[in-house]
Structure 1
Amino acid sequence: MTSTTSVDPASLQLPSDVQDLLFREARTANTFSDEPVSDEQVKAIYDLVKWAPTSMNTQPLRALVIRSGEGKDRLLPHMAEGNRAKTGAAPVTVVLAADPDFHENLPKTFPHKPDAKDLFGDAGARHEFARLNSLLQVGYFIIGVRAAGLAAGPMTGFDAAGVDEEFFAGNGWKSLVVINVGKPGENPWFDRLPRLDYDEVVETV
């Protein structure tokens, strides 16, 4: 459904051009140029988005940055057919995953609760907690990519179990989203799809 609600950008504190960069004009890229993405850019993205909130500052998101041909060769067989070509062409692909053992880091990130494991119940509860908070961080990461002046191409069309076996057998991470990162290439955008209006989504009591 096409949005018809007009809102004054001045209602928000961010300048309107920044609002456009992060949201209104930001698009999911489906092709990428050969312009490289540096390690410094990836670090800058993380150093920005790490400040966004997670429950009890747990920070369960983990990231695997794939830029080598060998890494892409290992990843591509696990991608859905429609996602393979653009993933192979992207200068950097990041696998974002949840760490079910996030509690091992909590004495550092939440120091007044050193016996952190007991806060989250059994392994199943910890896994669900890690997944929920990691998905929050996935959204932050996409916004961080845009803030760096790059385009993000997030995908859930892949064999998560295969990716986990290929890359995470030694650490137990659970892959959630694969994101291509780079400068847009030729004809990078699909048609802009409609968004729901405020009064279709929001209720006030």
Structure 2
Amino acid sequence: MAAPLPPEALDQIFRTARTYNGYTDEPVGEDQLRAIWDLMKMGPTSANQLPARLVWCVSQDAKDRLAALASGSNDAKIRKAPVTVIIGMDQNFHEYLPELFPHTDAKSWFDGKDELRREHAMRNSSLQGAYLIIAARALGLDTGPMSGFDNAAVDAAFFADTPSVKSNFIATLGYGDPSTIFERLPRPPFERFNRIA
């Protein structure tokens, strides 16, 4: 059985970690992006579906194209961040199940069932997006997840060659600038939103 992580690790991943609106000028390298993927891909998804498809916007051109499709203050956040990642979801994830889940014919569970595939793609790519945030924090980076953007326009701009992939959410990535965060918002105690049945 694994031992609990030390308090310092739990602080870094959860308790003192924050969502950042801006970052320092310290760059983020491709090796770090690959390290995030190598951690997040290990997180569980239903039948190992792994429907997330990521576009790492590193060049200023890619960030500018994405920022033009964002709403409110998100455009400036995207332009200034070292990296912004689009977490997409492949609604044809089932085509890969013979490789990813070879124990049984899991592909047949989803053949011809578009709505079921959309539901599973959304759920499991959201899980993978959460793993991305945890992996980034574990590796010493900060994130700023957001949903304020035109999904259809982002799909057309970044997933036109893979029409089965749709955007779920996006997240900026870098070394957070503490001056860009607000006071921590409320986190209710267990009794507020939990019950043991």
Range into which the TM-score falls when normalised by the shorter chain: over 0.9
Q: Is the 8 A contact 1:104 1:116 kept in 2?
A: no
Question: Which of the numbers 166, 169, 172 marks the counterpart of 1:174?
Answer: 166
Partner of 1:6: none
Distance 1:147 1:104 in 2: 32
1:24 to 2, 5, 15: 15
Which of 108, 126, 133 is equivalent to 1:118? Answer: 108
Q: Is the 8 A contact 1:29 1:184 kept in 2?
A: yes
Match of 1:128 in 2: 119
* Identity in percent: 45
Write the distance in 1 (CA, Å) between the matches of 2:106 and 2:27: 40
Query: In the alignment, is the contact (CA less than 8 A) between 2:17 and 2:137 conserved in 1?
Result: yes
Residue identity in the other structure for 2:142? A
Q: In the alignment, which of 28, 31, 51 is matched to residue 37 of structure 1?
A: 28
2:135, 2:8 → 1: CA distance? 16
CA distance in 1, matches of 2:106, 2:46: 13
Residue pair 2:98, 2:107 contacting (<8 A) in 1 also: no
Bigger drift between 178-187 and 29-38 goes to 178-187
Distance in structure 1 (CA, Å) of the matches to 2:196 and 2:174? 40
1:185 paired to 2:177: yes
Q: Deviations over 1:142-189 (max 9, x none)?
A: 111101101100000111111001111110211111100001126121
- In 1, the alpha carbon distance for the partners of 2:181 and 2:72 equals 19
Ranges of 4+ aligned residues in structure 1 off by more than 2 Å: none
- Is the aligned partner of 1:48 residue 2:39? yes
Instruction: Tell me the TM-score normalized by structure 1.
Output: 0.90
Q: Equivalent residue of 1:78, what SS?
A: coil
Aligned pair partner of 2:74 in 66, 83, 99: 83
When the two chains are superposed, the root-mean-square deviation of aligned CA atoms in Å is 1.3
User: Is this contact kept in 1: 2:69–2:153, CA < 8 A?
Assistant: yes
> How many residues get paired?
193
Unaligned runs of 5+ in 1: 1-11
1:150 and 1:181 in contact (8 A); partners too: yes
Q: State the 1:204 CA deviation.
A: 1.2
Distance in 1 (alpha carbons) for counterparts of 2:102 and 2:4: 33
